[in-house]
A and B are shown apart, each in its own frame.
Chain A
Amino acid sequence: GQSLEQPSEVTAVEGAIVQINCTYQTSGFYGLSWYQQHDGGAPTFLSYNALDGLEETGRFSSFLSRSDSYGYLLLQELQMKDSASYFCAVRDPTGTYKYIFGTGTRLKVLA
């Protein structure tokens, strides 16, 4: 099976840079995705890394290293609206549509 571990909570100030890590144990997978979920809202897709390396989308970047079983989401120029929960996610290769989420990280951005 799959296991994706994330820190439970991260706190940072406005304008700062924060990194949210995701470590996984899996026999193989198709790539690593990241989602943002505000309180009371639905998860929304942020980024997907199919290959090792860095993907940049505006203030958000995501990194994957398959050899280290590790990925992270980097948020730059933090804004108050970035306060939310962030989940990494993978598609289990043993079940083509089995799509599971990491334990989640709650980000608090302070003024």
Chain B
Amino acid sequence: DTEVTQTPKHLVMGMTNKKSLKCEQHMGHRAMYWYKQKAKKPPELMFVYSYEKLSINESVPSRFSPECPNSSLLNLHLHALQPEDSALYLCASSQEGGRGANVLTFGAGSRLTVL
């Protein structure tokens, strides 16, 4: 299995809603990432988990809450989002070292619209 699976593909939520984005990989990768991407912009790093521990938080607002329940799963919990949070949210994974640490495998993304 060489895929990263993200659900849902599309999500529309109000500013008072609570929702979650889910990501799963079965490649044995021990590093998992969340990126946010706006139209015509590069992916912007949000969080990184390595060995199920939060390794990097790029000063992301607390209305985004990541969770890594096990080595295959990564969640992003959303609460009280703003319309400017509407974007494509990409999950990725990589090996933890060597050349493989520089090769990220991305999921298809979850397109989020906040009304």
Contacts and interface: CB of A to CB of B under 8 A. Distances in A.
Interface string A72-111: 0000000000000101010100011111111110100000
B101 A42 contact: no
Contacts of A103: 42
A68 B43 CA distance: 25
Interface in B17-68: 31, 33, 40-45, 48, 50, 55-56, 58
Interface residues of A, number: 26
Contacts of B101: 30, 91, 96-97
A50 B99 contact: yes
A42 B45 contact: no
Interface in A29-76: 30-31, 33, 35, 41-45, 48, 50
The 6 closest A-B pairs by CB, nearest first: A101-B42, A42-B106, A97-B48, A104-B42, A97-B55, A48-B102
Contact of A41 (B56, B99, B108): B108
Given A42-B90, A103-B42, 12 more contacts: A30-B101, A42-B109, A43-B106, A48-B99, A48-B102, A85-B40, A87-B42, A87-B43, A91-B102, A95-B56, A96-B55, A106-B40
A35 B44 CA distance: 14
Nearest to A47: B103
Contacts of A104: 40-42
A42 B23 CA distance: 14
A107 B94 CA distance: 27
Contacts of A33: 102-104
Nearest to A98: B56
B105 interface: yes
A88 to B, nearest CB: 10
Contacts of A98: 45, 48, 56, 58
Interface in A2-42: 30-31, 33, 35, 41-42
